[in-house]
Amino acid sequence: SPLCCARRRTVASATPPRREQPQVGSKGAAAREVALHVFRNEAPTNSRTRLEGVLEGVESAVWRLRATPKAVVNRGVMALMLGGLAEQILTVDAGRWRGWSVWDVLVNLPSDNWATYQRCVEQHPLGMAMAITGLTYFFADWIAQTCEGTTPMDFDAARIMRSTLVGTLVFGPLVHTYYQSQAHLFDALFPSAPWYSEALKIAMDQTMFCFTYNITYYLAMGALAGRPGRETLGEF
């Protein structure tokens, strides 16, 4: 009937045409196709369209990042890290600045930052250990790459990020737990804390813990880089 024909034309005009997908020979394109396959026979058309849009946006962002010059990426990484650190240090008294002069702010920075650090260590010991260790590993790897012959802004950003993750997520909790356990152990074995107890702690640090620490670092860095464990152990 004319009414049915009009309805068919309305539905056909309201359905958006299917967009042609670019032929990209990459892992990102393959992952997108796998994800779409899950929803192809189950999800409605609108859900598939939204999913395609999200995956296209992610893939486009990855390609733009890969096309960004290395120097720009490295400067962005350093600006983010140094800027965040400076912001935390310089604004430690931001809630009390009302009525303060610039001189008052500068004079109180050292003591108030130290007091804030001590308070955070008492309230969040594990979190502070993770934050400080991650920050230390970030700058340590940056300095190490510079000593290896690269310029300060020509570093391997992926390696620095791996080192930072290992410091934050692996060694922060590991070191915190180790020294807490060591303190409890020595308090139980040597309640009077004789002079040689400190020598025993140093011996434990430089033997058992040192070996564990180093091999864990190599294995964690190798795993994040996608290297086989046997190859990593051989390098160690």
* Backbone angle region of 193, left / alpha / beta, with phi > 0 → left and psi within -120 to 50 → alpha: left
Domain boundaries, the chain: 124-235
pLDDT band at 220 (very low <50, low <70, confident <90, very high): very high
Is 30's pLDDT higher than 80? no
What pLDDT, on a 0 to 100 scale, did the predictor assign at position 62? 65
Region of poorest pLDDT, from 28-32, 78-82, 142-146, 178-182: 28-32
Supply the pTM of this predicted model: 0.66
Is 20's pLDDT higher than 80? no
CA distances to 86, 101, 112, 211 from 104, in Å: 18, 5, 12, 48
What pLDDT, on a 0 to 100 scale, did the predictor assign at position 50? 73
| Rounded distance between C-alpha atoms, residue 39 and residue 35, angstroms | 7
pLDDT band at 211 (very low <50, low <70, confident <90, very high): very high
Q: Residue 36 in contact with residue 52, Cβ under 8 Å?
A: yes
Is 131's pLDDT higher than 70? yes
CA distances to 90, 97, 149, 162, 198 from 155, in Å: 27, 38, 10, 13, 39
- Which contacts (CB < 8 Å, 24+ apart) does range 149-157 have? 153/71, 153/74, 153/75, 153/78, 154/70, 154/71, 154/74, 155/74, 157/70, 157/73, 157/74, 157/77
Region of poorest pLDDT, from 68-72, 123-127, 212-216: 68-72
What pLDDT, on a 0 to 100 scale, did the predictor assign at position 3? 46
pLDDT band at 25 (very low <50, low <70, confident <90, very high): very low
pLDDT band at 69 (very low <50, low <70, confident <90, very high): confident
What pLDDT, on a 0 to 100 scale, did the predictor assign at position 21? 46
pLDDT band at 11 (very low <50, low <70, confident <90, very high): very low
What pLDDT, on a 0 to 100 scale, did the predictor assign at position 130? 95
Tokens standing for residue 80 = 């983010």
* Residue at token pair 């920050």: 135
Tokens standing for residue 166 = 């290992």
Is 120's pLDDT higher than 90? yes
pLDDT top residue among 47 and 170: 170
| Rounded distance between C-alpha atoms, residue 75 and residue 154, angstroms | 9
Contacts of 136 (CB under 8 A, 6+ apart): 167
- Considering the chain, what is the average pLDDT of its residues? 82
